[in-house]
Amino acid sequence: MAALTWVSILIRVNGLRSLSKMTNFDFVMTIALGSCVAGAAQASDWLGFAQVMIAMVGLFIAQWGSARMRKESETFADLAQNEPLMLMRDGKFLREAMDASRVAETDLIAKLREANVLDLSEVRAAVLETTGDVSVLHGDKLDEQLLKGVRRDPDE
């Protein structure tokens, strides 16, 4: 219980972005934090428990620093995170991108169903995000601004 309270305090101090999945670093942070909570629950003495609590603080500091550096340095942002990749455009599967990212057509179709796509021709774009999620943009038209930073070619 103390570890969960401590995590809640750290999230409150660090902000809501703490457990977001905006980047691959954020995703790893979330998993590592869960591992620390499990470690705290298994700690057999106060020293071990304190070490885990300090490790949690270190994770939050590392995430805060990484987010700040990504925001301030485009070069660091390019090095630290993947770019989203277009998997589908204007109702057509982009096979080369799907092969390069190892996304099966059946998996992409499942994501299209989750997004309530009723007709493939309505899909303006399907994007494999940096977190591994798939964003499906469908409707009559698409503002190209929504595709800013998305790789169109898997070899870029």
pLDDT digits (tens, 9 = 90+) for 116-127: 999 999 999 999
DSSP letter, residue 145: G
Domain count along the chain: 2
User: Do 7 and 74 belong to one domain?
Assistant: yes
Neighbours of 136 (CB within 10 A): 20
> Are residue 33 and residue 64 in the same domain, yes or no?
yes
DSSP H or E run through 86: strand 85-89
Q: Phi and psi of 86, rounded to 5°? A: -75, 125
pLDDT by residue (tens digit) across 65-94? 888 888 888 888 777 777 899 999 999 999
* Residue 56 domain-assigned (yes or no): yes
89 versus 22: the higher-pLDDT residue is: 89
Domain enclosing residue 111, as ranges: 83-147
> Phi/psi of residue 75, each to 5°?
-65, -45
pLDDT over threshold 70, residue 156: no
Paired tokens of 120? 């493939």
Q: Which residues pair with 128 in a beta bridge?
A: 85, 134
In a domain, 59, yes or no: yes
